[in-house]
A and B are shown apart, each in its own frame.
Chain A
Amino acid sequence: MSRALFQERMREAEAAVEADLQILERGGELSDPLEFAARYRGLASTLSIARHRRYDSALVDRLNALVVRAHTALYAARLGRSARDGLSVLLFEFPRRVRALPGPLLLSVLCFFGTYLAAFTWVRLDPQAAYALMPASYLDGLAEMYDPKGRIQTTERTLDDDLTMFGFYVWNNVGIAFRTFGASLFLGVGSILALVFNGLYIGVGHAHVVERGFGESFHAFVLGHSAFELFAIVLAGLAGFHVGFAFLRPGLESRSRAVLLRAREVLPILWGAFAMLLIAAAIEAFFSPRDLPFGVKLAVGSVNAVGLLSFFAFSGRETRAPR
């Protein structure tokens, strides 16, 4: 068959696929989706024939472009995931993945809480060390924030203030978590640095505020949300370690493939950490600043911490076959 005749014969099939694509690419629905799949397969074999006969690139490239578009439209369908699927990933798959990675979890906990504890202890033993570790402006700012006689810890806080702070916490905290993971590719060193720095900041700040005598108002503020917030950062670090260490110990895969596979494994953890930080930001903005008795704050904080730990210990453990 000559090229011209071939082109003539396929023009109709091409136009049909093009018409379907016009609808699909605008987000419309086809009256007969199965027919589109059949047309796509027909066009795909036309492309193969055109290649096999070594028709010129103008013809083959145009067919190829059309088949790629049809391929994209056809496989876009498999992305459709219901909200229920997303929820089951967060509730069951997320804690399951965390439990499956005890090594990186331990390392992440050590990097973050280890630094936190060390910095806290150091500054409690030698209060002046705080000024060696952190700029005075940071320490004074913190002290001012938690001073019960100061202008920030007041009962006159309005809903507007809460919303401002909610925006700030989401922007700042989720940004920190995402960066902790995003810096992981340098063999995990980026995540180590992010965790250690954050542990240091918080540890020194905590000890310094206690040293100044504002411990009670500080604890009353942070108890409610700290479990969600701090553990989410640790989980972002965990995800970073799992991916970053694939360079060092790729196992049976090639290095690039190991990184790719592990990144997929930690995706539920990233979504989970994101969700935890949203919860933390909501608590921190709307509950933590409320002027409630210390006992109430302590109770809420404890329930949160225990609830979170048992979520990670038990959720998703049933023997129901995984999808």
Chain B
Amino acid sequence: MARDLIDTQWRIETAEGVTLTLTPAGLVPRAYAYAIDLAIRCAIFVALIIVMEVTEITEKFGAGLLLLVAFALEWFYPVVFEALRGRTPGKAALGLRVVTTDGAPIGFGASLLRNLLRVTDFFPFGYALGAIMVVATPRFQRFGDLVAGALVVHEGRVEEARSARAAGPAAPLSVPLDVDEQRAVISFAHRRELLGARADELALLTGDATQGDASARTAALVAAARWYEGRR
């Protein structure tokens, strides 16, 4: 299909013989997720300091504890969350998940690799190299992801559009359509709410297949979509 050329999806074939489609996450959601995780890590650290102030743990013991916590937060916070839950809290907030390139959940080893290599991706400052890699690689992988064989993907929980379920008249278009064209009409009907005013503009491009003004053409397309879906 021609759309394979331009989309960013990654297809994997599982042992069950079915092809799964994963949607790798780009730079921006990942940057937001990182920012949230950073805030959480700082909050844990500050909270610990406050707790120690309040409970008056001796200064030196507290300093040792703080350093251990700083170490764990720096190196193992992402590893533990990714290996046990598939994502850090920041990634969960953005609906992201870390998986291996064959779609399976990531383990401790691979997660450790991708997080240790943050040193490389951070180079020379502020994850500059990692950002370039995410933008430049087809599956949006920084060095750590490439080495660990990992992907950061959008966790798909797709809700069917309301318009797709709404009842209404169903009638085919006056012109016979092939399967791909029918599919396009159905997709149009499902995305009508998202498209807003653009839906009418698109409907005007259907030529002889529909008649009347823009809203009449849109209604005809939606009715046709119901027909092709078999809801008649």
Contacts and interface: CB of A to CB of B under 8 A. Distances in A.
B187 A48 contact: no
B143 A44 contact: no
Contact of B160 (A62, A75, A179): A62
Interface string A36-47: 000011001101
A50 B217 CA distance: 28
Given A64-B20, A175-B75, A183-B119, 5 more contacts: A58-B158, A68-B156, A160-B58, A167-B63, A185-B117
Interface residues of A, number: 62
Contact of B19 (A1, A48, A72, A160): A48
Q: Which of B16, B21, B61, B157 has the most CB of A within 10 A?
A: B16
Given A48-B19, A167-B66, A160 B160 contact: no
Nearest to B101: A260
13 contacts: A2-B229, A44-B17, A45-B18, A54-B179, A65-B158, A72-B105, A167-B64, A175-B74, A181-B116, A182-B117, A190-B120, A256-B146, A271-B112
Interface of B: 14, 16-22, 58-61, 63-68, 70-71, 74-75, 83, 86, 97, 99, 103-105, 107-109, 112-113, 116-120, 123, 143, 146-149, 155-161, 164, 179-180, 183, 186-187, 190, 228-231
Given A3-B229, A270-B112, A61 B156 contact: yes
Contact of B68 (A170, A183, A184): A170
B105 A4 contact: no
B221 to A, nearest CB: 13
B18 A48 contact: yes
A19 to B, nearest CB: 15
A48 B164 CA distance: 21
B158 A62 contact: yes
Given A2-B230, A48-B18, A64-B21, A54 B120 contact: no
A252 interface: no
A239 B97 CA distance: 28
Interface string A161-189: 10111111011001100110111111000
B147 A263 contact: yes
Nearest to A170: B71
Given A56-B186, A57-B187, A263 B158 contact: no
A15 interface: no
A163 B118 CA distance: 29
> What are the 8 A-B residue pairs with the smallest beta carbon separation, nearest first?
A2-B230, A182-B119, A65-B156, A167-B67, A167-B64, A44-B18, A160-B60, A163-B64
Contacts of B147: 185, 243, 259-260, 263
State the main secondary structure of chain B at its contact with A: helix
State the main secondary structure of chain A at its contact with B: helix
Interface string A204-239: 000000000000000000000000000000000000
B33 to A, nearest CB: 18
Given A170-B68, A175-B71, A4 B230 contact: yes
Contacts of A34: none
A51 interface: yes
A40 B17 CA distance: 12
Contacts of B228: 3
Contact of A164 (B64, B86, B116): B64
B188 to A, nearest CB: 10
A109 B127 CA distance: 30
Contacts of A61: 21, 156, 158
B120 A67 contact: no
A149 interface: no
B113 A267 contact: yes
A84 interface: no
A4 B229 CA distance: 6
A190 B118 CA distance: 13
Contacts of A158: 60
A125 interface: no
A152 interface: no
A57 B231 CA distance: 17
A100 interface: no
A165 B149 contact: no
Contacts of A132: none
A68 B113 contact: no
A178 to B, nearest CB: 5
A264 interface: yes
Given A4-B229, A48-B17, A58 B190 contact: yes
